Amino acid sequence: MARPKIALIGAGQIGGTLAHLVALKELGDVVLFDIAEGTPEGKALDIAESGPSEGFDARLKGTQDYADIADADVCIVTAGVPRKPGMSRDDLLGINLKVMKSVGEGIAANAPDAFVICITNPLDAMVWALQQFSGLPTHKVCGMAGVLDSARFRHFLSLEFDVSMKDVTAFVLGGHGDTMVPLTRYSTVAGIPLPDLVKMGWTTQDKLDAIVQRTRDGGAEIVGLLKTGSAFYAPATSAIEMAESYLKDQRRLLPCAAYCDGEFGLNGFYVGVPTIIGAGGIEKVVDIKLSKDEQVMFDNSVNAVKGLVEACKGIDESLA
């Protein structure tokens, strides 16, 4: 059986890290696409030359030609621009919307059967636009944010409790922005929910609130430190987790930006929700019950996403 083909649209910081991870994990052959001449070719060759030492079997190719992504099984999209210090994700909307148009058309023409994972910000609006521009089925187009936001939450919690990150599970839902919703009730240490851990004296409500806020600000914290771009190691790892669940039909239950068609009372929007990812793509949106307070936070987050989608429609008439 031929190896899966994984197309990475955008060969910048995240794209290059994705290519390295795909090769190291032997998930398939890689095509790195970018408009910047030489960048995808250089990264593909550099990673391929690490193969003899690492002992992986994967072909890597860099290109500026969409024809090279033909029949890709998975496309991961990072094309566009990242934030600089002082910028919000929403400041990227206009420029990255144009990028989504060309990427959507490129995928539609060359890899219409692919499972597409968008990472470009502002995430929830860009994945919506990418689905519109590509015309691919909604269950085959999703966005990566919840896995990353949850991983950040899990990391901070593991530091607070001084336990292995493996035993911390967490859920962050809603839009990938300042209004994201870390759900403490559904987050646990080896099955013990966070509110119970507060009662058991493992932490205080104040400390938990501070961790929730640090999670919301997790992207900005790294932008502030790096100064020249945004996070890329953990975002790439998170998208790989989703791609692997699709390619190996693992049916992982992962939070990601998925198209809601009635679930969570939403119609026609992408927002961070729990999903099952298997060979069919987004096989299910898991419509969990939210408490009153959680629902208020979720609605607030959804309204922010809706505002960005409306802004997209204002910029590109074909989306209206």
Residues acting as catalytic residues: 176
Closest CA to 152 of 228, 224, 241, 219: 219
> Is 78 among the residues that bind ligand A3D (CB under 6 A)?
yes
153/161 Cα distance (integer angstroms): 12
Residue 113 annotated as binding site? no
Q: Which of 120, 131, 187, 275 binds ligand A3D (CB under 6 A)?
A: 120
Residue 14 annotated as binding site? yes
Closest CA to 212 of 147, 149, 280: 149
Region of 262 on the Ramachandran plot (φ > 0 left; ψ -120 to 50 alpha; else beta): left
User: What does the DSSP 8-state code read for residue 64?
Assistant: S
Residue 83 annotated as binding site? yes
2/4 Cα distance (integer angstroms): 6
Residues 6+ apart with CB under 8 A from 52: none
User: What does the DSSP 8-state code read for residue 66?
Assistant: G
Encoded one letter per residue, x for contact with ligand A3D by CB under 6 A and - for no contact, window 121-160 reads: x-x--------------------xx--x------------
One-letter identity of residue 61: K
The residue among 62 and 197 lying less far from ligand A3D, judged by its C-beta, is 62
Are 64 and 37 within 8 A, CB to CB?
A: yes
Tokens of 78: 């990072």
One-letter identity of residue 101: K
Encoded one letter per residue, x for contact with ligand A3D by CB under 6 A and - for no contact, window 176-205 reads: x-----------------------------
> Is 14 among the residues that bind ligand A3D (CB under 6 A)?
yes
258/154 Cα distance (integer angstroms): 22
The residue among 14 and 285 lying less far from ligand A3D, judged by its C-beta, is 14
Residue 119 annotated as binding site? yes
Report in angstroms how near the CB of residue 191 gets to ligand A3D at its nearest. 27
> Is 11 among the residues that bind ligand A3D (CB under 6 A)?
yes
> Is 42 among the residues that bind ligand A3D (CB under 6 A)?
no
Q: Which of 28, 182, 218, 235 binds ligand A3D (CB under 6 A)?
A: 235
Q: Which of 29, 34, 41, 160 binds ligand A3D (CB under 6 A)?
A: 34
One-letter identity of residue 71: D
Residue 12 annotated as binding site? yes
Residues lying near ligand A3D in the complex (CB under 6 A) are found at 9-15, 34-36, 39, 78-83, 92, 96, 99, 102-103, 119-121, 123, 144-145, 148, 176, 229-232, 235
| Residues of each annotated binding site for substrate | 83, 89, 121, 152
